[in-house]
């Protein structure tokens, strides 16, 4: 059996980082970890190839080689996924689809022969069994939550690791919280399931053996969902990092209660975590209660962010406007909040009703759903009728983006972040980092309208906090990407 894995293209969004990648000569931000893991689950004797459309085009000879096409996608890749399906269908190839976009709305796709939904550890063996008997079904689905200690190490041989800015690994699935707008519980449940420390050690070693010596994204929706297990794993990871001279700098996603656990923050810092994404959402307590984000409404978010920064981890934040409790004052409030806490990478989006979430069902019952979610809540596209009105929300949302990504406010945030930030990460300056600096000096320091802010930032950082200079350069480069996306969104006709 010859299987071709295809990963659809991401549109140009805040999360794609396409305008940053050229500085470090990379083609994509992250590899398709799900397909690499599925590749390791398939029979070893099968022939396998992978085409990531974010790295290379899908050629006719790729399709002609394959007996079967395996496709995975997130909702934001829906358009590209359908284009791949249509093209492979024209060649008469059997198409097997799974992953988030198909699990929550497989009925939206045409031309797929077999859907292998939910978690592959459960449904993929059923598909393989039926394939051997020649009795394949259209849909394979299950509510069972598998033991991921049995999940194999991703098949890294399917990709060229040098195409990517950051490699990825998964430690756990599931989140103990149940925010109304979030689909994590639908995908992975509320009981976090973790891999064993030895299993993680093995997976880190597999990455190391590929020759990778840069950042690694632990892709868990909430890395600290099971703090007890995390605290058992981190000492093993720390020891491994020490033994290998800290080859990886780590980033992940977590909940804000991280800031309440001094031991956990210190353990993560010592293990070489340097970034953490938090769903901060909004400073409005009533809106936080509305969406069930009680882990945020019960604490001082400003202090939480500052505390994490002081432990050497840069907070990247997700923010939302458009809650029913939001008034027109929320737009200025969000701008002031984001500036105050110094979250430089501030991913602000409009509230989006993702399929099968509690929010989706509530709005459907209220007759307020307007269409399907794009899967990219930072594109300003609304799929429901907000209480404040669509025009007000659209205008206010664009005001936030235009404000926080204006050069002056953006660099103010970098300085606010650096005031609290205490660098602890052990990094290896590589050739691509030096090249990125010189490219930034030209593109940002000379050609950009932000050149004055750029040189002022670098000089101040060099004098006062020299160890933070690499991250200052990185954030200046990111600013170009954010500003390009902001201009496009603000210029687009509101939907």
Q: Each residue of 269-279: pLDDT tens digit?
A: 999 999 999 99
As a whole number, mean pLDDT of residues 481-491 equals 92
CB 259 within 8 A of CB 302: no
Q: Tokens in use for 132?
A: 């051997």
pLDDT above 80 (res 377)? no
Q: Give dist(CA 44, CA 254) in Å, integer.
A: 35
pLDDT tier at 427, thresholds 50, 70, 90: confident
The percent of residues above 70 in pLDDT, for the chain, comes to 99
As a whole number of angstroms, the distance between CA 3 and CA 48 comes to 5
Cα Rg of the chain (Å, integer): 22
- Taking a C-beta distance cutoff of 8 angstroms, is the pair 283, 335 a contact? no
pLDDT digits (tens, 9 = 90+) for 292-349: 999 999 999 999 999 999 999 999 999 999 999 999 999 999 999 999 999 999 999 9
Other CB atoms within a 10 A radius of the CB of residue 137 amount to: 12
Q: Is the pLDDT of residue 170 over 70?
A: yes
Buried/exposed 79-90: b ≥16 CB within 10 Å, e otherwise: ebbbebbebbbe
User: What would the mean pLDDT of 106-118 be, rounded to a whole number?
Assistant: 97
- Specify the pLDDT at position 421: 96
Name which of 333, 370, 378, 311 is nearest 351 in CA terms. Answer: 378
Give the CATH H-level superfamily of domain 148-419. Answer: tm_1862 like domain (3.80.30.20)
Indicate whether 428 pLDDT > 80. no
Q: How confident is the model at residue 375 (pLDDT cuts 50, 70, 90)?
A: confident
Averaged pLDDT, 430-440: 92
Could you read off the pLDDT of 190-220 as tens digits, one per residue?
Answer: 999 999 999 999 999 999 999 999 999 999 9
> What's the whole-number mean pLDDT along residues 86-95?
97
Q: How high is the pLDDT of residue 274? A: 97
Show Cβ contacts of residue 136 under 8 Å, excluding neighbours closer than 6 positions: 113, 114, 127, 130
Q: Would you state the pLDDT for residue 304?
A: 97
H-assigned helices in 72-162: 78-90, 100-105, 120-133
- The model's confidence at residue 494, banded by pLDDT at 50, 70 and 90, is low
- pLDDT at 156 exceeding the cut of 80: yes
Whole-number pLDDT of residue 13? 87
Q: Is the pLDDT of residue 411 over 90?
A: yes
For the CA atoms of 71, 77, 78, 79, the dihedral, rounded to the nearest 10 degrees, stands at: -110
Domain 2-140 of CATH type 3.40.50.280: yes
Residue 415 has pLDDT above 80, yes or no: yes
What is the pLDDT at residue 16? 87
Mean pLDDT of the region 141-168: 97
Mean pLDDT of 89-113: 96
Which of the four pLDDT bands, split at 50, 70 and 90, describes residue 495?
low
Pair type for strands 114-116 and 172-173: unpaired
Could you give the dihedral angle defined by the CA atoms of residues 241, 242, 245 and 246, in that order, rounded to the nearest 10 degrees?
40
């Amino acid at each position: 059996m010859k299987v071709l894995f295809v990963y659809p293209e991401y549109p140009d969004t805040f999360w794609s980082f396409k305008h940053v990648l050229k500085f470090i000569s990379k083609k994509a931000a992250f590899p398709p970890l799900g397909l690499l893991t599925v590749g390791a689950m398939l029979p070893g004797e099968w022939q396998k190839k992978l085409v990531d459309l974010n790295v290379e085009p899908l050629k006719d000879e790729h399709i002609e080689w394959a007996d079967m096409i395996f496709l995975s996608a997130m909702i934001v890749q829906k358009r590209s996924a359908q284009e791949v399906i249509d093209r492979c269908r024209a060649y008469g190839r059997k198409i097997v689809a799974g992953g988030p976009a198909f699990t929550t709305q497989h009925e939206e796709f045409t031309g797929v022969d077999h859907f292998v939904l939910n978690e592959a550890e459960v449904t993929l063996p059923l598909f393989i069994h039926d394939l051997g008997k020649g009795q394949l079904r259209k849909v394979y689905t299950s509510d069972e939550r598998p033991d991921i200690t049995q999940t194999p190490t991703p098949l890294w041989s399917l990709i060229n690791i040098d195409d990517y800015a950051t490699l990825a690994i998964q430690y756990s699935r599931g989140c103990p919280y149940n925010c109304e707008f979030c689909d994590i519980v639908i995908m992975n449940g509320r009981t976090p399931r973790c891999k064993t420390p030895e299993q993680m050690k093995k997976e880190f070693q597999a990455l190391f053996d590929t020759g990778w010596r840069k950042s690694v994204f632990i892709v868990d929706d909430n890395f600290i969902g099971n703090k007890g297990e995390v605290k058992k794993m981190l000492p093993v990871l720390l020891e491994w990092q020490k033994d290998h001279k800290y080859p990886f700098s780590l980033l992940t996603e977590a909940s804000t209660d991280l800031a309440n656990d001094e031991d956990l923050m210190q353990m993560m810092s010592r293990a070489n975590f340097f970034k953490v994404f938090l769903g901060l959402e909004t400073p409005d307590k009533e809106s936080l209660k509305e969406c069930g984000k009680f882990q945020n409404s019960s604490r001082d978010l400003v202090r939480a962010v500052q505390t994490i920064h002081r432990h050497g981890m840069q907070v990247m934040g997700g923010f939302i406007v458009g809650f029913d409790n939001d008034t027109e004052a929320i737009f200025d409030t969000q701008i002031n909040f984001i500036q105050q806490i110094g979250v430089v990478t501030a991913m602000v989006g409009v509230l989006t009703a993702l399929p099968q979430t509690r929010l989706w069902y509530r709005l459907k019952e209220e007759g307020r759903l307007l269409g399907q979610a794009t899967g990219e809540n930072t594109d300003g596209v609304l799929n429901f009728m907000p209480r404040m009105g669509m025009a007000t929300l659209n205008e206010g949302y664009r005001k936030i983006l235009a404000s926080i990504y204006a050069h002056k406010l953006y660099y103010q945030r970098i300085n606010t972040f650096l005031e609290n930030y205490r660098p602890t990460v052990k990094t290896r300056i590589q050739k691509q980092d030096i090249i990125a600096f010189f490219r930034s000096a030209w593109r940002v320091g000379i050609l950009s309208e932000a050149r004055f802010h750029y040189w002022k930032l670098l000089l101040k950082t060099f004098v006062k906090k020299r160890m933070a200079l690499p991250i200052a350069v990185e954030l200046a480069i990111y600013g170009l990407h954010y500003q390009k996306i902001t201009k496009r969104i603000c210029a687009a006709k509101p939907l």
